Structure 1
């Protein structure tokens, strides 16, 4: 019984209940860690570093944390700066569903603060496998290529580029002259804007007049046909003159059709001329005016 009591007292002495449970992790650089540094979880202090032990390829860091702080088997350690002027603390991020127990957190899940010495050492790894011989040979070949007559070749290339730029500059001047000429043409054309507008008005009047007469002649021909149908019984009484009468009527109808067809062509031509002058006036920002072609004159059989 005395032996058992002695063993229990010895365990309690080295592992007091108030000091909590042990957590450990490995690191390959313990320069920023000191015994007594705080251990925090989610920003809350839960313990402190109690011991550091040097091993062949790593350092074992031990800490004591509160018993009620759960540490999972996938937990990570991040050593962070405590203040701007210095000092560090151990941030313990608990991950995993199973307790960590006495198993130390491996180096792969431990992040140390920025180290200038380590950064400089890592930069040599970028170029340590670079073969400098081909690069040196390439630079030597470039150096040899820029000697002797090759320098003249480079000068010739530069001169050719300058000549090309001179040609572009000269062509740009020619384009400028063309634009200036077009400006003068437009300015001269704008002086006749009033005459163009007057001409457009006259064309629109002539066009609308032709349209009205065109519809009137069509109505006349249709009425004439109806009249012929109405007087057909009377014409049958004059059988001796029927052929001559019908021939004259046919001739009149043919002349009327020719006039209507030619009138339609004339109207379309006048409309094209009016559209042309309208575009000229629009290009000169002339104000729109009311034209005869914008109005409609109703005639029998052709309502507006």
Structure 2
């Protein structure tokens, strides 16, 4: 029983200590007495409560709250150990902790001390803070290079870029060594790049040889565009007139389609009848001149054929341009029958 009790006590103590250590790690608190400060950032994206406050890479405090300040900037409240002295001119800079997106605030003392320390409760204004590096803009600039790299090389290069731009001690040599695969890939594509440059050179030579023609084309095009711009009102009115004309023609065709269809059908019937009477018509037109000649002779030599004029009409031109009516109206009953 004694051994069992001892083992239980040891297990309980170890469990409690591990739980306390885990809780302290999760809480990410700073031991000892602390003082509160406030920092204003133009952008505090991804900074959360519990993130670190560091000076020279050593954790000296914790972020306690992040909220909107004055409806335009981010207000970050944090604590710093009282044992840490913050000289006047200290800059609060927001940095990336890793590529996952976690951030922390780095307190950067001035290179030359101006004397005195910042009092507890001091507020770091926008002039005393620096936002984090915009990785989106940075990686967009390196995108043409990264598309030739493997995913592992991209991750290594990204880490080196962040370290270099944030001044965390990474060397340019490390950055260049991370781009070695890029250089190899470009070397493998040397033939393709050379052919592309040769083709582009030929195109530029052709364009250069046609400089005069190209200049005339551009000048003519400019004159055409200028003329169209000057006549834009006339062109617009013409297009409106064409639209109205199209509407009128469409209505005319719609209204005349049925009568035209009937006329075409009747014309077909007439053509068929004329085709059936082809022999009769040929005989009639062959004999018509002889008949007309004989009728004319008969009317000239006797009164066997009587003609009666029922109506004569005409016009007389006048200097004013008006054409007056002239003629005789029918009075005989035979003309009105």
Instruction: Settle same-fold status: TM greater than 0.5.
Output: no
Does 1 or 2 have the higher relative contact order (CA < 8 Å, sep 6+)?
1
Identify the TM-score tier after normalising by the shorter chain. 0.3 to 0.5
